[in-house]
Amino acid sequence: MIASLAFAGLSASPAAASPEQCSSNRFCLFEDENFQAVFAGFTRSQSQLFDRDLDDKTTAIINNTDDAWCVYSDGTYTGSRREIGPRQVVSSLLAYEWQFNDVISSISRGGC
């Protein structure tokens, strides 16, 4: 099972999540504030999140990589965007400085 998750570039769990699930070299999305609910960890860009059960549902992010990532409001790396810096943790995209809650539809490794 580990090989299949690494090959797919993600790991996901429908159960309650925690920050500890975001292992090294993963960019992790969480459905709820403070790293709760549905979780997925990525190692590569994703042009669409609709099949990951996180399309337009992400509220918290942990970037556990040495690279910046870009999150986009639309699929195929389009729409509004925000950059998440290396090792950056965002406990709530509801916060005023982000204002990007429940809109992420694609993510790219390497910044905006």
pLDDT for res 57: 87
Condensed to tens digits (0 to 9), the pLDDT of residues 4-25 reads 333 345 444 444 566 778 889 9
Residue 34 structural domain: 2-109
pLDDT, greater one: 52 or 1: 52
pLDDT for res 52: 64
Condensed to tens digits (0 to 9), the pLDDT of residues 62-96 reads 999 999 999 999 999 999 999 999 999 999 999 98
Phi/psi of residue 19, nearest 5 degrees = -60, -30
Mean pLDDT of 27-52: 87
- The CATH number of residue 41's host domain is 2.60.20.10
| Domain count within the chain | 1
CA-based R_g, the chain, Å: 12
pLDDT for res 1: 38
CA 65 – CA 48 distance, rounded (Å): 20
In this prediction the pTM is: 0.81
